[in-house]
Chain A
């Protein structure tokens, strides 16, 4: 239902005393998102779970010594879970539980970093080409089209294989370089819609600069869609990082990640008879991605007024 305009409300009625609001202001986007999460119990539980895991992992990894965890112990190769090693050990006698904690921290860190960087690039490109349109838009969209048709996985693996002095930073940069296009395209289409609205034209007539319109007026209106996309991308990036690490093209060997733990299962014997090595990490990836997706889907419903529950 369209909201009644001020004139409709006051028609035929005595004018309201000055200083009184004519209508209730609709709550800001962030509050709507938050309300939707609280209403959706599954999403709330997922959010709490993700926050708990994240903080637990970051806090314990301060106490935990990475060098200690990845130290090879020849007397404890491939040991099943025991009181010494809660989740057993891998082929190098390294404690799985410790690796799981550090691995989760590393995987989450990369996923957060990649999400933030791709978000930054994607939003900038998207808003600029959507808002200005014309030649700029044409140029950026051809670039995006080109990046989108590249066989992502192969190109990323090939880049990782040829980069000299490969490190976590190059990993992040390579992933970012081939992942920003989706957001750019989405934000561009939204910015294009916003640009046509009257408030932008009005603001322009009143002499606002382009920068002011973009940052103070358009961006706040895109905030909920940005939050939704970033949340869903975070889940996807955890999957991508662990997938690449699983294939052996993610984190360097001495740095545990969720994907490297799962990759031990590429050894048929480990897969068949030593599930304690790879199953916990697999389950954790699955649950983390599922939870973050849950939150993302709830946010998505909140951002689209037609689907909102409350």
Chain B
């Protein structure tokens, strides 16, 4: 198994290098460079040219790439010209908001998926199962942004049950209980909206796993031994059918990335997706580039986590 993980990690290295090259070339296409955010227009063009030369901005792209990647590895991603602060600090402010949003969504996703999937699989072709299947059909087809918009309109504006933006009520003192409650309150609607859509694939997967497993021989054996129905479902079937769900956990993480961009945008939630969006609109490209790199590495790691869990669960697919 350790060998498998090692081999899987070596596949990651060229992927990350390719990703960084792509992101770097993308950044080169973007107007403006490290100096645009710092200089004021009254400076003599010759002085700017001298500065460009000194900073290596006139070097060929592969030399610049090397300088950039060496800096990036040291956590140095340049300045945001909009906020006049290092990109690393700026992202550090937002990363926790996105982390909490993703965590809340994941928890809700499984809180919804596991009971629904078990019910649907255990009592398949009953009325309840048909309703759950109908919901998964709807959730599968509905685009996240429209669903989130409808939720915001209904529960945020029409009913007024939830706040319509932000991550915390302004004026709260960090560290107090009220601050924490307010944070959770602000998370609830965005996280639920996203979870209700992302959960459907897990519900479908769990349902078909359970239906598949409950006709296997070892279940008949367990029943013949006189195991109670609840013991069969809770121990024999559930344990087996949760394995593939666990394995898709990493891909679930990757899927959250696209989702948070929409959700943070719609609910004006100050996370990294919202930062990405506003930065690209204002052409603050050092932030954009860093975020793409960060999210790219995150999804590479997500795929790695999934493959490792899959390998642990199912020895047949370990990389030879």
Q: Do A and B actually bind?
A: yes
Q: Write the residues of chain A forming the contact surface with B, with a CB cutoff of 8 angstroms.
A: 145-146, 148-155, 157-159, 161-162, 235, 239, 242-243, 246-248, 262, 265-266, 268, 271-272, 275, 278, 282, 285-286, 289-290, 293-294, 297
B194 at the interface (CB under 8 A from A): no
Contact A243 B295 (CB under 8 A): no
B295 pairs with A247, CB closer than 8 A: no
Q: Is B141 on the interface with A (CB-CB < 8 A)?
A: yes
* B261–A154 CB distance below 8 A: yes
Answer whether A153 and B258 are a contact pair too, CB < 8 Å, given A146-B18, A271-B157. Answer: yes
User: Which of A154, A248, A266, A290 is the one whose CB lies under 8 Å from B292?
Assistant: A154
Query: Quick one: which of A145, A155, A158, A271 has the most chain B CB within 10 A?
Result: A158
7 contacts between A and B (CB under 8 A): A149-B19, A149-B300, A247-B277, A262-B146, A265-B153, A271-B149, A289-B142
A161 touches B280 (CB 8 A): yes
Q: A275-B153, A278-B149 are in contact. Are A146 and B15 (CB under 8 A)?
A: yes
Nearest-Cβ distance from residue A174 to partner chain B, whole angstroms? 12
- Say which residue of A148, A159, A271, A282 sits within 8 Å of B146 (CB atoms): A282
B143 at the interface (CB under 8 A from A): yes
Cβ of A268: which chain B residues have Cβ within 8 Å of it?
Answer: 157, 164-165
Most B C-beta atoms less than 10 A away, residue of A148, A150, A154, A162: A154
Q: Which of B22, B30, B258 contacts A152 (CB 8 A)?
A: B258
Q: A145-B15, A268-B164, A282-B150 are in contact. Are A290 and B296 (CB under 8 A)?
A: no
Q: How far is the CA of A161 from the CA of B149 in the complex (A)?
A: 24
Q: In the complex the two chains form, is A158's CB within 8 Å of B277's CB? A: no
The answer on a CB contact under 8 Å between B258 and A289 is no
* Contact call B265/A282, Cβ cutoff below 8 A: no
Interface size on B, residues (CB 8 A): 45
Which residues does chain B contribute within 8 Å of A152, judged by CB atoms?
258
| B137 engages A293 (CB within 8 Å) | yes
| A155 with B141, Cβ < 8 A, contacts A146-B18, A149-B303 known | no
Cα–Cα distance between A201 and B300 once the two chains are bound (Å): 39
Partner of A293, one of B140, B266, B299: B140
Inter-chain contact A271/B30, CB cutoff 8 Å: no
Q: Please tell me if the beta carbons of B295 and A154 are within 8 angstroms of each other in the complex.
A: yes
| Chain B residue at minimal CB-CB distance from A161 | B280
Contacts of B254 in A (CB 8 A): 149
Question: Which chain A residue has the least Cβ–Cβ distance from B259?
Answer: A153
Q: Chain A residues near B150: list those with CB within 8 A.
A: 282
Contacting residues, chain B, for A235 (C-beta < 8 A): 141
Cβ–Cβ contact B141 & A290, under 8 A: yes
CB neighbours of A290 from chain B (8 A) = 137-138, 141-142
**Nearest chain B residue, comparing its CB with the CB of A297:** B137
Interface majority SS (helix, strand, loop, mixed), chain A: helix
Whether B281 is near chain A, meaning CB under 8 Å from some CB there, is yes
Question: Does B57 interact with chain A (Cβ within 8 Å)?
Answer: no
Complex interface: chain A residues within 8 A of B29 (CB)? 162
Contacts of A153 in B (CB 8 A): 257-258, 261
- The distance in angstroms between the C-alpha atoms of A265 and B153, with both chains bound, is 9
B141 touches A154 (CB 8 A): no
Known: A158-B26, A290-B138. A151 touches B292 (CB 8 A): yes
Complex-state Cα separation, A288 to B164, whole angstroms: 28
State the B residues within 8 Å of A (CB). Answer: 11, 15, 18-19, 22, 26, 29-30, 137-138, 140-146, 149-150, 152-153, 157, 164-165, 254, 257-258, 261-262, 265-266, 276-277, 280-281, 283, 288, 291-292, 295-296, 298-300, 303
What's the minimum C-beta distance from B204 to chain A, rounded to whole angstroms?
A: 11
Apart from A150-B299, A151-B292, A289-B141, what 13 extra A-B contacts exist at CB < 8 Å?
A: A145-B11, A145-B15, A153-B261, A154-B261, A154-B295, A161-B280, A162-B30, A242-B145, A266-B265, A271-B149, A272-B157, A286-B141, A290-B138
Contacting residues, chain A, for B145 (C-beta < 8 A): 242-243, 246, 262
Report yes or no: A271 in contact with B288, Cβ–Cβ below 8 A: no
Are A285 and B146 in contact (CB-based, < 8 A)? yes
Q: Which residues on A sit within 8 Å (CB–CB) of B138?
A: 290
The reply to whether B280 and A151 contact each other, CB–CB distance below 8 Å, is: no
Chain B residues with Cβ below 8 Å from A271 are: 149, 152-153, 157
A297 to B137, CA, bound (A): 9
Q: Which residues of chain A are near B291, meaning CB under 8 Å?
A: 154
Q: For A155, list chain B residues within 8 Å (CB).
A: 22, 26, 292
Bound complex: CA A155 to CA B27 (Å)? 11
Q: How far is the CA of A155 from the CA of B19 in the complex (A)?
A: 11
**B142 and chain A: residue at smallest CB distance:** A286
A276 to chain B, nearest CB (A): 13
Closest 4 CB pairs of A and B: A239-B143, A151-B295, A293-B141, A153-B258
A170 to chain B, nearest CB (A): 13
- Check B299 against A157 for contact (C-beta < 8 Å): no
User: How many whole Å from B152's CB to the nearest CB in chain A?
Assistant: 7
Interface centre among A150, A235, A294 (most CB of B within 10 A): A150
Contact residue among B18, B26, B276 (Cβ-Cβ distance under 8 Å from A162): B26
Contacts of A145 in B (CB 8 A): 11, 15
The answer for the CA separation of A247 and B264 in the assembled complex, in Å, is 11
CB distance from A155 to the nearest CB of B (A): 6
Partner of A285 from B143, B165, B261, B280 at Cβ < 8 Å: B143
A248 to chain B, nearest CB (A): 7
Complex alpha-carbon distance, A151 and B300, angstroms: 9
Closest to A287 in B: B141
- Expressed in whole angstroms, the minimum distance between the Cβ of B207 and any Cβ of chain A is 14
Complex alpha-carbon distance, A297 and B165, angstroms: 37
A155 to B300, alpha carbons, bound, how many Å? Answer: 15
Beta-carbon contact of A158 and B149 below 8 Å: no
